[in-house]
Chain A
Amino acid sequence: MLNRRDLLKSSALTAGSLLLPAGLRPAFAAGEDITIGAPLPMSGPFAANGKFGSMGTAMIVEEVGRILDRKLGYIEIDTEGKPATAVRKVQEAMERGVTLFSGGILSSEALAMGKEVAKGNGVFITTAGADEITGSECNKGTFRWSVPTFGAIEQTVRPLIEQLPDAKRWYTITPQYVFGDGLLNAAKAIFKEKGIEHVGNSYHSLTEKEFSGYLTNAMAAKPDALLILNFGSQSSDTLRQAVSFGMKQRMTILLAWASGLEQFETLGPDLMEGVYFGAQYWHGIDSPFNRELVAKVQAKHKMNPNYAFASAYLTTKLLIDAAAKAGSTDGPAVAKAMEGMKYAGLTGDEEIRAADHQVIKNYYLLKGKAKSAMKDKDDYADIISFGKSFQSPEEALCKMA
């Protein structure tokens, strides 16, 4: 298996390969290999996600081994969580002949990389959250596995309203940028439809770490439910502070865009108990492909796959399957093979919609368990409901270039 990090480690230590003249350097992808690029934040604040993403890609590449009578490998590309670095390194990988990429956890880097890969006639599949990826900025080379904001709200807020008919007053906390507004607008539409009173919203910036002021405002509005629309460490901080304020006892809390196991491990069952979470993936999903993956990961890594691991495994597999189907690693041919592809995926039957390159898959509503009810160390939550909700490509503003 070809791993850029391992290869560079040895070459850098022995010869400072980066600065050697081109003719003297070891090639990253030996002549006949098919190389998948894995642009992930391996360093910086999102390095933990990058590490698991890389493990997922490595596992499927190792499993498949060969396609089209050629050895399969991958190169790990450290985006450092910065769009500029991500694009620059993707450009370099493309110059070395890589056409297929799976990665991009952060929206800003995924959007920029998608554009770059499409420009170079490659294919890029990502799990990043920004709606624009398969919406207004959709393009011929970019595919997205994760459910956009519309579906995340439809599959969390709507079922929760149905489960809690007495929760008539909702308060929202929203990060003030495009992603947050996407979630908020979808939630407002449901509130309006269901006759829910939206008693208030607190906007905060992407750099915010202290949420007590927003939570105080939320408590003053006396809502029946608190809808947290930020993500990552911000959503964990918001939830921690909300629980310490005793809000869990006074209202229902829904964190609509959780990252699953990796986030739950940092929160712990005491915080999570009784709280609802929206998730793209959960290792407890009862689908044949997921059960198979969970067993394989447990056997190989002695752990359950988290979202970053599982999604990277699947998205890389989609690229490999499409290349095999197309009989080529040529970007446009692989993209064509991916369009309309139906397969048994992690969340059950999944399909890649041809018109906007969005994967049609389930989104999950989970509920945190009490520590005493956990069957194993990772059994943090139960699946309450799930389903598929997507805007049409036209509604999502995708005009495929």
Chain B
Amino acid sequence: MNRASLHFLLAALVAAALPLFMRSGTLASEVLIFAMAAAACNLLLGYTGLLSFGQGIFFGLGSYAVGLTLLHTSLPLSLALALSTLAGAVAATGVGWLSIRRQGVYFVMLTLAFSQFFYFLAYTFKDVTGGDNGLLNIPRPAIGPFTLGNSWSYYTFVAVLFLFVFAALQRVASSTFGRTLLAVRDNEERARAIGFPVRLFKITAFAVSGAVTGLAGALHALLIGVAPLSSIEYHMSESILIMTIIGGTGNLFASVLGAGFYVIVSDLLSSIWPRWLLLLGGLLVVVALFMQKGLWGLLERLVEALRSGRKSPVEAPVRPESEGRGI
């Protein structure tokens, strides 16, 4: 079994196992929704080397798009979701097109600026978005003969979409395009010198990432019946990035681990101690200092240690792995 198939199998196992171990279909759905968003973020961060604070924009726009479509038109759910995906892709193309003109810290600053820009747009146009109150009353219609009112039936729907999206992202990551992204990440100048259209590739990565994040935002709005302003604010980008980093940027399944860990642990910690964000901050420090490959790296070390029957090896310098063969 190759690595990509193993990761897909692991993702499918997670989707199948969550109902067995979680009391709530709502929480389980949230895990998979954020797993999609984190995997999309990973495509930018892990595969293209772009630290984007714009993910909240695409997530929020997806939420608003599905809400506005279902509230103001009679389009079916499938089309509403397609429109949300498109909204995320279009916004990401625009944000990406402008942001990648600069590199490093200036790129990050641009995505932050766009994040604030879109937040204030949503805040200002309250007649459209509901402003601070959020866009309320978003229905969760049936899809074909399947009703989604029950939290576990909705989870099933989300799980199917999640697996489809995960497989699609894997396909992207292991394609020539995905391998070229790795080349861009590793040495942009060399990739350009070889003749790759680096800007176009980066914009395309943004578009794919935005599309998936928009879909995740739409599914989240359907889950809670509201598109809150917090979905499009900077903190959403921050949360998605934290999930991605905690999981590890080495492969797409690591993002599933990161999202699951973040959502479940946040829920658990917030029930135990009101200052749980301190613990989360501490955890990030630990990840940044000692687990630079994230939870996936930790898992790999454990497996390696079990295999070799000796102490886990010293962690190698950070070098996110590829789903493909590299170029």
Contacts and interface: CB of A to CB of B under 8 A. Distances in A.
Interface of A: 4-5, 8-9, 12, 16, 18-22, 25, 42-44, 47, 50-51, 78, 80, 82-84, 87-89, 91-92, 95-96, 107-108, 111-112, 115-116, 119, 130, 132, 137, 177-179, 205-206
Residues of B contacting A: mostly: helix
Contacts of B224: 83-84, 87-88, 91, 112, 116
Interface in B135-162: 136-137, 151
Contact of B272 (A5, A80, A116, A179): A5
B228 A116 contact: no
Contact of A111 (B123, B134, B270): B134
Contacts of A115: 136-137, 225-226
A178 B126 contact: yes
Contact of A12 (B137, B231, B271): B271
Interface string B121-133: 0010010000111
Interface in B271-296: 271-272, 274-277
Nearest to A13: B272
B220 A132 contact: no
Interface string B21-35: 111111100100000
Residues of A contacting B: mostly: helix
Contacts of A44: 277
A320 to B, nearest CB: 24
Those 6 A-B pairs whose CB atoms lie nearest each other, nearest first: A83-B228, A87-B224, A8-B271, A92-B24, A112-B226, A78-B270
A259 B270 CA distance: 25
A43 B136 contact: no
Given A21-B21, A112-B228, A80 B132 contact: no
B133 A111 contact: yes
Given A8-B271, A112-B224, A177-B123, A43 B132 contact: no
A175 to B, nearest CB: 9
19 contacts: A12-B271, A19-B21, A19-B22, A21-B21, A43-B276, A80-B270, A83-B224, A84-B226, A87-B224, A88-B223, A91-B26, A91-B151, A92-B23, A96-B23, A108-B230, A111-B134, A111-B136, A115-B226, A205-B123
Contacts of B82: none
A87 B272 contact: no
Contacts of B25: 95
Nearest to B224: A87
B105 interface: no
Contact of A82 (B24, B228, B276): B228
